[in-house]
Amino acid sequence: MSNDTSCPNDSLQLQSKLARVLRRARELQPVSAGSTPARDLPHSGTATLYRYGSGEGIPLLVVYSLVNRPYILDLSCERSVIGALVRGGITVYLLDWGYPGPMDRFQRLDDYIEDEIDCAVDNIVARHDTDRISLLGVCQGGTLAVCYAALRRERVRSLITLATPVDFQTPQDTLYRIVRHVNIERLTQALGNVPATGLNTLFTSLKPFQLLYRRYLRLAELGDDEQALQAFLRLEQWMYDSPDQAGAAFVQFVRDFYQANGLVAGNLRLCGKSVDPTRFTGPLFNAYATADHLVPPAAAKALANLTGSLAYHEAEQPGGHLGLFISQHAHRRLYPILVEWLHQCG
């Protein structure tokens, strides 16, 4: 009969470590997010338009996803996409969509493009005395940016897409398999806006071991590293600080992009016009992550065959979806290249 008692002892040690880390985590709350100074600018839409940088650099508008909050791009000084761009001489403008309320349930993707993105571009070109700007789209926001560049090509000097899906029916796309037969209209008729809690549960279920068990098991090892613990808490706060989704826009996105795969099929219409990405012929920088479970590489790489860009550049990065924004590798390799590319093309 074995006398090995290492397993109970290990369990007790783990419990003790976790208890100590959780006590320290409570003491550190609330954690701050956002390390780059920002200025709130007048904007005629319902979103908030922020400016980062002196206002003298190349103007770049960031269009973030509707599903999450944009401060993942500026979590800390060490891992800030916005900070890297500003230090590289770029004036960054960011549309913060905020938190849609019950009165926003009828807001469409057309409204986000015409009343938010286009109005922000109006603001920026007036400030910089130019007729075109550079546009950076992130995830779902990248899909909207591709659509905007196709519809208003004369206003976009160069286009950047990060973790951006354009083919929504690739074999590895788990989200497509989940929503392909869902009656989205009926869902929003019952709920109005789509609750963020439901979407968070869905996204977590796609990768439960990594996002739950392994992530929290590693928490026990952060007791002696306060900087790492604060980074963990910032990311934790971001993961569960998600807005509800405006019902009409959510229906459009699922129906027209996932279920109809409109960009690939060539039958997408927004703002009363056909969306044809080949109409945009300017420089395009498309970056994606090799292990992205939300935007499979094939979903992003399909842009190469859809765009009309005469100067298309593709950048593959190791890691998962969030690693494209916060990993050391991305900040050492990807963003210096992107800054240089913007100075050449922006």
- The domains of the chain, with CATH numbers, are 32-345 (3.40.50.1820)
Distance CA 16, CA 193 (A): 42
Q: Out of 105-114, 153-162, 183-192, 335-344, pick the least confident.
A: 183-192
Q: How far is CA 339 from CA 188, 312, 320, 333, in A?
A: 41, 16, 22, 11
Question: Does residue 30 have a cis peptide bond before it, meaning omega lies within 30 degrees of 0?
Answer: yes
Give Cβ neighbours of residue 224 (< 8 Å, ≥ 6 apart): none
Q: What is the dihedral of CA 306, 309, 312, 318, to 10 degrees?
A: -40
Provide the pLDDT confidence category of residue 1 given band limits of 50, 70 and 90. very low
Distance CA 321, CA 91 (A): 25
Residues serving a catalytic function are 139
Mean pLDDT of 164-192: 93
Main-chain phi, psi angles of 184, to 5 degrees = -65, -40
Mean pLDDT of 24-33: 79
Q: Of 256, 291, 239, 240, give the one whose Cα is nearest residue 179.
A: 256
Q: Tens digits of per-residue pLDDT, 120-166?
A: 999 999 999 999 999 999 999 999 999 999 999 999 999 999 999 99
Q: Residue 210: its pLDDT value, please?
A: 63
